[in-house]
Amino acid sequence: MTVHGEREIIPSVSRAEAGKVLARFTAGYTEAYRRLDPAVLDRVETGALAEIGRGDLAEQRARLPKGRSGNPGYPALELDDARFTIPKAVGWPKFFLADTRSNRDGNRWLVVFARTGAHDPWKAAYLTLHAPGSVPEFRTDKDGWAAPADGGLVLAPDAVSRAYTDYLRTGKGDVFAPSGATSQTRADRARLARTPSFRTDWIDTAEGAPGFPPVAFRTADGGAVVFFAAHHREKRTMARGVRPGVTDPRTKALLSGNGNLRTAITYTRVSESAVRVPARAGVGGSSGGRVSFLNRIEALVGARGE
């Protein structure tokens, strides 16, 4: 009997296949960073994670001694002690989560894998880092499959990116709890808005499907962990008589606009975040609450001089 994933509610992937997907990702990641080849990276990554990775490779290629094209000594990435959270789903795209131990640091690496169709490969779409013991408990059914996060939340998963970028722009609303990603970011920006040497303007862009679809997993308390992406553009316009300068190696590697730096420079960054979204007040006894950031990774992916 054939089961059609586009019509039936079935697990997004088998547990055995999830392990193979994780192994394929670590092998592809290691190969890409040894060859410094973005085409290899694109085979195993997508979305915000792929944007960050392409920026990493550009920076590392720029650092190579003349005549070298790769970094064969790059240490292999190892992700073990994997704990998979696999939801049942109908249609596409499909997702699952790997909670892993990394050989890079003492954190748990949460990797979200996405697949856009039956004939498409699984790719890593989000990566966030969490201290041991801080990963939320996810709700599962009697067979161990993850519960859907399709309603009953203080903020719908596909509304999180827009709510976040609106907050960064206006500071209005009480959706998000104070944190480094929210209130502290706005305070930091306020200090840079006007200085004797330059003024700074920001444009924050919400992202979603199809290129950056949010992914949500129901937690044991009735809320959800939502993974989402956003883009952030920061333009620094220099005061008269001041020319912008670039010393950061990543910025130099990603600088476009013929390298012209006369009056301004615009930085483009992408962020990938994991937030905890509570259940709405009254749902399952929840008292509601604010959305809180569990982890946020932001990286420069482009720069343009004027």
pLDDT at 91: 87
| Same domain flag for 115 and 166 | no
pLDDT at 160: 98
Q: What is the pLDDT of residues 48-90, one digit of tens each?
A: 999 999 999 999 999 998 878 899 999 999 999 999 999 998 8
CATH number for the domain spanning 68: value is 3.10.450
Residues in Cβ contact with 59 at an 8 Å cutoff, skipping those fewer than 6 apart: 249, 250, 253, 254
Structural domain includes residue 131: yes
pTM reported for the whole predicted model: 0.94
Number of structural domains in the chain: 2
Helices and strands, number each (H, E), in the chain: 6, 12
| Same domain flag for 100 and 175 | no
Structural domain includes residue 142: no
pLDDT at 7: 57
3-state secondary structure 119-138: CCCCEEEEEEEECCCCCCCE
Low-confidence ranges of the chain (pLDDT < 70): 1-7, 257-259, 285, 287
Structural domain includes residue 143: no
pLDDT at 259: 62
Q: Residue 95 and residue 16: Cα distance in Å, rounded?
A: 15
| Same domain flag for 130 and 154 | no
Residue-range definition of the domain harbouring residue 40 = 1-135
Structural domain includes residue 141: no
pLDDT at 2: 43
| Same domain flag for 79 and 111 | yes
- Average pLDDT value over all residues in the chain: 93
| Same domain flag for 223 and 115 | no
Q: What is the pLDDT of residues 32-45, one digit of tens each?
A: 999 999 999 999 99
